[in-house]
Amino acid sequence: MTFLPSVTKEQQFMKTIEKSRGKLGQLLLEKKMVSEEQIEEALEVQKINGKSLGDILIDCIYSQ
């Protein structure tokens, strides 16, 4: 008999989050909520400070 390791709800949630990474920018572009230039700038900032793309874009909105 083989026992599969139990997967907690937290582990399932984290797997879902990991699969969705990188899609925020694409979604915002499709909805025409940001431009490609804004995404590119936010990704450059992300390389420097390591913040999430969403946080960077929110910071940009509130700093205007």
State residue 48's pLDDT score.
94
3 state SS of 57: helix
pTM above 0.85, yes or no: no
Between 3 and 6, where is the model more confident?
A: 6
Amino acid at 39: I
Residue by residue, DSSP assigns 11-53 as HHHHHHHHHHTT-HHHHHHHTTSS-HHHHHHHHHHHHHH---H
CA 46/CA 37 separation, integer angstroms: 14
Q: b vs e for 13-30, b when ≥16 Cβ sit within 10 Å of the residue's Cβ?
A: eeeeeeeeeeebbeebee
Average pLDDT value over all residues in the chain: 78
Q: 30 or 17: which carries more pLDDT confidence?
A: 30
